[in-house]
Amino acid sequence: MAFTLQIGDSAPDFKLPATDGKTYQLSDFSQHPVLVVFFTCNHCPYVIGSDEVTQATANKFADQGVAFVGINSNSKNTYIEDDFSHMVTRMYQYQFPWTYLHDESQAVAKAYGALRTPHFYVFDRDRRLIYTGRGIDTPRDASKMTVNDLDRTLSEHLAGKPISIPVTNPIGCNVKWDGKDPHWMPVEACDLV
């Protein structure tokens, strides 16, 4: 079995606290025909560099019923900036158009096979995976973007077309697993930034 979800797999359930004070599970988004689940955090330069584009994509497709759920699974023991209080502050500051959940146990990240921050998963109405990978091709510096895979995937799916490229490599920081020394990972994964 592959570590990360494969195309056609069902979305694993979750029950996680959000920055709005509520607890959410997968069924809370059942009224939405498309669900984007993405693993993110507060400190990663790849997340920060592409948040504005992710926000624009979320806003663009909101009227078509696409819901966005961000999940922070990073260990606060690796980066204190990734703790829950910093999540609340960040959402208050930027008013992102998604539900921001905290996966402190990291069980949800493991169930999805999250590899990076950010790492996107797009599910259809039946909550089957139709796309996994990057949001854009240059998440650290969105001004250099030439491809928006997330926008393309949502546009194709909502137009009733097959997804032309259903799998890409997520680009970003490694998920910060609890108990792992962040400095064993490659420099390009932004752990030393």
pLDDT of residue 179: 79
Answer left, alpha or beta for residue 177, where phi above 0 means left and psi between -120 and 50 means alpha: beta
Q: What is the pTM of this model?
A: 0.93
Rounded mean pLDDT, 185-191: 44
User: What gap in Å lies between CA 136 and CA 98, rounded to an integer?
Assistant: 18
Tell me the pLDDT tens digit for each residue of 163-176: 999 999 999 999 99
Comparing 1 with 106, which gets the higher pLDDT? 106
Q: Where are the alpha helices (DSSP H) in 17-83?
A: 45-62
Residue 124 predicted with pLDDT over 90:
yes
User: What gap in Å lies between CA 162 and CA 123, rounded to an integer?
Assistant: 13
